[in-house]
Amino acid sequence: MERLKTKIRDIPDFPKPGVLFKDITPLVGDPATLRLAVHQLLHPFLEQGITAVGGIEARGFIFGALVAWELGVGFIPLRKSGKLPYEVRSISYQLEYGSASLEAHTDSLGPGDNVLLVDDLLATGGTAKASCELVESLGATVAACAFVIELDFLHGRERLSDYTVHSLVHY
């Protein structure tokens, strides 16, 4: 996965001082590297009976939609509160600096669905864990969580100990 790392740029002090932001813009701008990332995200799950891919707002939409397309299944956007136009199921969760919520349409998933959750980054695991709980609240099963980047020093994987976690690049 060193090839992917060469396309992830470090931006110091963004979005606030002391944070080293992992910018995936060069990765998604390079067709060969983007294709590699998408194929590596989905490869372990080809025979897992995935029926839908859930993408976590916002960069999870980029990778999630492409993974869904490659798998030939639907894409379910997990959005920030107030962004979806139909009836929604919502879940609130705590962040390091406050709280947030995620929503999905109530008819987007149900019993029998086996969902692969996709996002660009696993940090503390709060958003990913809430995404798993949202999917399960709709009656579906979380097959696994797949990330392009995992920040190991934040131990987000520990919050996802009940799920299979697949990450391509570790920092």
Query: Catalytic annotation on 136?
Result: no
Query: Catalytic annotation on 9?
Result: no
Report the alpha-carbon distance of residue 142 to residue 113 in Å, rounded: 8
Q: HEC states along the chain? A: CHHHHCCCEEEECCCCCCCEEEECHHHHHCHHHHHHHHHHHHHHHCCCCCCEEEEECCHHHHHHHHHHHHHCCEEEEEEECCCCCCCEEEEEEEECCEEEEEEEECCCCCCCCEEEEEEEEECCCHHHHHHHHHHHHCCCEEEEEEEEEECHHHCHHHHCCCCCEEEEEEC
Given 2, 47, 87, 96, the catalytic residue: 96
Report the alpha-carbon distance of residue 171 to residue 163 in Å, rounded: 21
End-to-end CA, the chain = 12
Given 3, 9, 59, 79, the catalytic residue: 59
The residues annotated as belonging to the active site are 59, 96
